[in-house]
């Protein structure tokens, strides 16, 4: 790592700040969807979010064209876009069926599924401590859902599917690591999500009001801004510093649900979400430590 890069990645205060801003943006996205997409089909809401979002991602067109993508890469981007598209539809559906806090807490499971998928399909080794952390995360999910103790809605099952599909999307993105830039990966995902969502949206299309289009434009703006500030957070500080800050999203989501939508505070959701996030934080810290150790050994050997 060059000196400027090392300096940039050692600013924990700035990294925490940008992750705080990211959390606020993403909580704003959930609130806007819950408020502005109640009367629109989930697929159509998701399509409007992405097609409007293309405006904000127009500057990425140049690096995409300059990347010289192979046919195989384009096909893989297409499959990733399809998986992510279905995940987004399920997320929009869940957002209008269950509480903001439940959506936020259950979304924490995606990194756990990513860890499992990396072990099953990418050959990454799972140590005993990481297996125990994964088991703890599933206990957290059971605490949130409490099957047998309350009636589960379709929104809960939709969120379970969302987390799995987002994990698949991320694992497919890892295949491009070192091949293309982050700008190309983000741009191609947005492009193929728009294409993938189109047939689902047109199958249930109803004429949106100007207000609904405006709400989806705000969703696109806040979502795009959130992904951008997240990259700033990762550039300023290690994920071991920024990851624990994501817990505040659950606090903000709970307060938002109470204040804006009259959703009662569910202590079980807070407990389960805290357990899942603790597991994800442990997995993140362990992976960062292993990467540093591997880099140190590699540097010594070279």
Q: What is the pLDDT of residues 132-163, one digit of tens each?
A: 989 999 999 999 999 888 889 999 999 999 99
Quote the CA–CA distance of 178 and 85 in Å, as a whole number: 24
Task: Kindly state whether residue 126 falls inside one of the protein's structural domains.
Answer: yes
pLDDT of 294 = 61
Task: Kindly state whether residue 86 falls inside one of the protein's structural domains.
Answer: no
Task: Kindly state whether residue 117 falls inside one of the protein's structural domains.
Answer: yes
Q: What percent of the chain has pLDDT over 70?
A: 91
Task: Kindly state whether residue 211 falls inside one of the protein's structural domains.
Answer: no
Task: Kindly state whether residue 201 falls inside one of the protein's structural domains.
Answer: no
Quote the CA–CA distance of 260 and 273 in Å, as a whole number: 21
Between 143 and 260, where is the model more confident? Answer: 143
pLDDT digits (tens, 9 = 90+) for 156-187: 999 999 999 999 988 888 777 678 887 788 88
Task: Kindly state whether residue 23 falls inside one of the protein's structural domains.
Answer: no
Calculate the average pLDDT of the chain: 85
pLDDT of 186 = 81
Domain span holding position 290: 99-151+266-302
Q: Crossing angle for the helix pair 100-107 and 71-95, nearest 10 degrees?
A: 150
Q: How many domains does the chain have?
A: 1
pLDDT digits (tens, 9 = 90+) for 232-258: 887 787 766 777 788 888 888 999 899
Task: Kindly state whether residue 108 falls inside one of the protein's structural domains.
Answer: yes
* pTM for the whole structure: 0.83
Q: Which residue has the tokens 């997995």?
A: 283
Quote the CA–CA distance of 47 and 85 in Å, as a whole number: 9
Task: Kindly state whether residue 160 falls inside one of the protein's structural domains.
Answer: no
């Amino acid at each position: 790592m060059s000196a400027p890069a090392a300096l940039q990645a050692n600013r924990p205060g700035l990294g925490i700040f940008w992750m705080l801003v990211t959390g606020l943006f993403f909580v704003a996205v959930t609130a806007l969807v819950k408020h502005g997409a109640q009367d629109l089909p989930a697929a159509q809401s998701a399509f409007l979010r992405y097609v409007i979002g293309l405006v904000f991602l127009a500057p990425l067109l140049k690096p995409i064209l300059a990347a010289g993508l192979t046919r195989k890469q384009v096909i893989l981007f297409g499959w990733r876009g399809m998986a992510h598209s279905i995940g987004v539809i399920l997320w929009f559906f869940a957002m209008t069926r269950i509480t903001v806090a439940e959506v936020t807490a259950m979304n924490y499971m995606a990194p756990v599924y990513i860890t499992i998928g990396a072990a099953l399909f990418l050959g990454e080794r799972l140590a005993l401590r990481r297996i125990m952390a994964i088991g703890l995360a599933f206990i957290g999910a059971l605490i949130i859902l409490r099957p047998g103790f309350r009636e589960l809605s379709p929104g809960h099952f939709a969120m379970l599917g969302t987390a799995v599909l987002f994990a698949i999307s991320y694992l497919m993105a890892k295949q491009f690591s070192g091949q293309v830039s982050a700008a190309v990966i983000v741009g191609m995902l947005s492009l193929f999500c728009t294409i993938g969502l189109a047939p689902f949206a047109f199958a249930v299309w109803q004429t949106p009001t100007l207000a609904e289009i405006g709400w989806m434009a705000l969703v696109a703006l806040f979502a795009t801004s959130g992904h951008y500030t997240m990259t700033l957070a990762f550039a300023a500080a290690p994920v071991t510093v920024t990851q624990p800050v994501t817990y505040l999203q659950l606090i903000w989501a709970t307060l938002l649900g109470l204040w804006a939508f009259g959703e009662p505070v569910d202590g079980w959701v807070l407990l389960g979400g805290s357990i899942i996030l603790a597991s994800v934080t442990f997995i993140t810290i362990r992976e960062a430590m292993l990467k540093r150790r591997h880099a140190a050994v590699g540097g010594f050997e070279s």
